[in-house]
Amino acid sequence: MNYGTAGVKVISILGEDYSIKAPAGEEQTLLDAAMMLKAALDDTKRKYPTLIGDRLLVLAAMNLCSQQIEMKKQHQEELDRYQEQVSATVETIAKTINQG
């Protein structure tokens, strides 16, 4: 990643400000990630109102990681299904060509 022309963004998480450098062209990704983390923190805080600080942050991060793992799993299952469909189509075409 090229940080030479990176933009520094100040992100506030749980009342703390963090100055984070984003690679050139990735500033919006950084802001989107911060918004996603804040939403996860809000959701976790609603479910577990007594959690504060690091415990809240860790549980929210674990929830985000779990969601990411589940999305990867679903994506792989979809890819496998598409591959099966493509293979079946290729097999059908090959049979048709061989009959001709």
- Residue 23 to residue 28: CA distance in whole angstroms: 10
Angle at 11 between CA 54 and CA 61, to 5 degrees: 35
Give residue 65's Cα distance to chain centre. Answer: 8
Instruction: Centre a 10 Å sphere on the Cβ of residue 9 and count the other Cβ atoms it contains.
Output: 15
pLDDT, tens digit (0-9, with 9 covering 90-100), for 21-69: 988 889 999 999 999 999 999 999 999 999 999 999 999 999 999 999 9
pTM of the complete model beyond 0.75 = no
